[in-house]
Amino acid sequence: MGSSQTGEMDREAFARRLPAPPWRTFLLPGSAYGHPHHIRIGVGGGVEARLDAGLERLAAALSSMRS
């Protein structure tokens, strides 16, 4: 697991959008852990977990917000 500072983005809205296509990725806003300016990324799922694919989708979602 890791935590990353996210600047001015609306972390709550971002976290709600990610599970839906095309992103299909899950994270929690830092407010759930007392760090409102961060997001928290967790990895689970055993051998079926595809961290590389999840991080690529997360990067694409972040890029789409900047466009």
What does the pLDDT average to over 41-66? Answer: 84
What does the pLDDT average to over 39-56? Answer: 83
**What is the distance between the alpha carbons of residues 33 and 53, in angstroms, rounded to a whole number?**
25
The predicted model scores a pTM of 0.72
What are the two backbone dihedrals, phi and then psi, of residue 40, each rounded to the nearest 5 degrees? -120, 125
**What is the distance between the alpha carbons of residues 66 and 58, in angstroms, rounded to a whole number?**
13
Domain that holds residue 21: 2-66
What are the two backbone dihedrals, phi and then psi, of residue 66, each rounded to the nearest 5 degrees? -80, -20
* Number of domains comprising the chain: 1
What does the pLDDT average to over 45-57? Answer: 84
